Structure 1
Amino acid sequence: MHALIRTTAVAAGLVVTAGMAQAADIYTPPPEVIPVVPTIDWTGFYIGAHAGYGWASGDGTTSYRPNPAAFGANPFSASTDLDGFLGGVQGGFNWQSGGFVGGVEADISWSGMDGSERVAPLSLFGGPAVPGWFQNQSGDIDWFGTVRVRAGFLATPEMLLYATGGLAVADVSYRTFTSFTPAPPFQYGASASETATGWTVGAGAEWAFAPNWSVKAEYLYFDLGDLDYVAPPRAPNPPFAVTQSFDTTGSIVRVGVNYRFSSY
């Protein structure tokens, strides 16, 4: 009797187990689908601020009127090194297509780049240097701005590597004082300032550390063209004058932070 009961219980258990297995084969719930939310969207307008350091060279050429032979002095070339800190603001627009990001950016910086140089002694035309003959020259860049295109690729969804280039604009000033003493006792001084325009190229990297925030590091090379002027004599000495020409080129390294208005 007991054996019959045990046999019946085992058989019932097998039937229940088989039924559960068959039910499991009939319906298996699908895995839960978790939506993927993008971590960064580069498309959209942005604004930001930056700070950095710049160094430039004012490659100067000095000559004389009506000509060096009549003036009695040799023309010469001498550079003035300009360097200093800078900082400002930027804004732009990015457009993303897959791993490509392109756009346009404009920025403006206050600049502390300046410097001075003393050239001495100057020399007679076709002759030796003359003690006491010298030229003092100095220059500065008070502000610096660019309007550039940017194009690059995403090394990761959060890391943009890009090249950039476009228009460079700056307030550039130079001053010179040329002295021929004690003989002849003539001195020539002048200054000039202009809003110089030129070009710039560079490269950078930008890392998006939050959905709307990023930090960047950037290098730019720039060429602001020539600034030419004439220094007349401090005492009447027609037709003599000293001519100056400065070609300004340089580099900037800077870091910055951007806030993007894009959203998803």
Structure 2
Amino acid sequence: MRFFLTTTAAAGLVAAMASSAASAQDVASSNWTGFYVGGQLGYNWQPTDGDEVVNFDRNRDGNFGDAFPNFSPGFCGGAPTTARPTSGCSKDNDSTAWKLHAGYDYQFGDTSGPVVGLIAEYGKSYLYDNVTAFSTTPAVYKLQAKLKSDGAIRARAGYSFETGTLIYGTGGAAYGKIRNSFSMSNTVNSATVNDPTKNAWGWTYGGGIEQKIGKFSVGALYTFTALKNNDSTVTVGSLAGVTPATNPFIAQNAAGTDFQRSFSKFAFHSVRATVSYRF
């Protein structure tokens, strides 16, 4: 519903501007060949991941999936609201997003025909993705991945009509700067985040509609993006003078137990309004 309403509003804006421009004879040409620069403003949301869990490597041999009975209360794909997963877990956030872009299109045909192009974009998103483990103590252990910024290099291909309307599909390589962090209510163990800040790579795909209005074009764009983020781990170990020798986190390896989230991707949907100046 969120995507439908946002896209409908954006498409309505494009149609209204196109109608006004046509009546004023502002559409100088329907040919898309050339360079352009512009910006995007929109909304991001994450797919449901309530079934995400935390995997453990208790002997630190690099293989995750070791049984850890102390975490029998379970897990939740979000942030904890209490010390028990059955009592509630907050959903990961949605957010606004903006980007700047530059690209080039080539049209086969003078007033209508196929269009191919390449676009580079970069900007800010404000998403974070949590997963929480609950122990029998009781205690909570939360892993958080926060998307600081993101961009992409996308190819696009579509068809331009004589009205100056372009419908297209798009896809390519995606990039994001992700900050991984960890927090716990356990006060007798230490915690170290390995590879906390990383350059994450992945892919993106989607489609959109765009309308030429003189030297400008306005449009609506939908994309789905998935970034690889399973390299970061957390080591929960002993705290000097505090952690007892019988502590379960150091039972199989004196250096501690490694945590890793089960989902390897940081994924999100996005719908954005676009505006470009075309040279």
* Same-fold status (TM-score > 0.5): yes
List runs of 5+ in structure 2 lacking aligned partners: 1-26, 61-65, 79-91, 241-249
Given candidates 59, 62, 79, the residue that maps to 1:66 is 59
Deviations 1:207-257 (A, max 9, x none): 1122x1100110111111133223242515414223213521111111110
Distance 1:93 1:60 in 2: 43
Distance 1:224 1:60 in 2: 18
Distance 2:210 2:43 in 1: 18
Distance 1:189 1:82, change over 3 A: farther
Give the corresponding residue for 1:221. Answer: 224
3-state SS of the aligned residue for 1:227? coil
Mean CA deviation greater in 80-89 or 54-63:
54-63
Q: How many equivalent residue pairs?
A: 212
Deviations 1:66-114 (A, max 9, x none): 1745x65348664342432111210100000131111000000112223
Confirm or deny: 8 A CA contact 1:231 1:244 kept in the other structure: no
Give the corresponding residue for 1:241. Answer: 257
State yes or no: 1:175 paired with 2:181. yes
Give the corresponding residue for 2:189. Answer: 186
Mean CA deviation greater in 57-66 or 84-93:
57-66
Give the corresponding residue for 2:199. Answer: 195
Instruction: Give % identity.
Output: 27
Confirm or deny: 8 A CA contact 1:189 1:234 kept in the other structure: no
Matched residue type, 2:58: R
Confirm or deny: 8 A CA contact 1:40 1:157 kept in the other structure: yes
Distance 2:100 2:132 in 1: 35
Residue 64 of structure 1: how far off its partner (Å): 3.4
Give the corresponding residue for 1:207. Answer: 211
Distance 2:257 2:220 in 1: 46
TM-score by length of structure 1 reads 0.70
TM-score by length of structure 2 reads 0.67
- Ranked by relative contact order (alpha carbons within 8 Å, sequence separation 6 or more), the top structure is 2
Distance 1:38 1:254, change over 3 A: closer
Matched residue type, 1:149: A
Mean CA deviation greater in 87-96 or 219-228:
219-228
Distance 1:199 1:254 in 2: 17
